[in-house]
Amino acid sequence: MLNDWLTSERIQIRTDITDWRQAVEVSAEPLLKEGTITPDYLTAIFAQREKLGPYFVLAPGIAMPHARPEEGANGLGLSLLTLPQGVKFNSEDNDPVYTVVMLSAPDKHSHIELISELAELFSSDEDMQKIHQAKTISEIQEVISRY
């Protein structure tokens, strides 16, 4: 199922990003480009980050920025950005972040199965390590094809 959402157009490997804010913006680019989210979605993510801190850093090395459906989510969508050198998101227990998965959900229910598949992937240290170390998009797709 993740292969259906994380197509080659929605996966990026970037070594030039050194700032968490830029990482979030770049991870959103595929979804912005296809209209799945609006610029307001990013604004909402940054506003929540100011209020709550790095709420979207879920586990060591993994961030999943997201906002509420009414804050600019036009559809269900995922994108994935890997940061081979890691980027500090100011999450004391989970920095540096190597994988950023941008999630968009247009309502409170449609993303439940997608979240379940992501949780399974995120819980596999071996597969997440493979994603962190991937040199090509096809290597990442090979890992996610099992979910």
Q: Which residues are catalytic?
A: 66
Compute the distance between CA of residue 122 and CA of residue 144 in angstroms, rounded to an integer. Answer: 11
CB neighbours of 56 closer than 8 A, spacing ≥ 6? 45, 49, 63, 64, 65, 66
Decide if 144 contacts 6 (C-beta within 8 A).
Answer: yes
* Chain length of the chain: 147
The sign of the torsion formed by the CA atoms of 42, 32, 71, 121 equals negative
Question: Any idea what DSSP says for residue 59?
Answer: E
| CA-based nearest residue to 129, from 80, 78, 63, 84 | 84
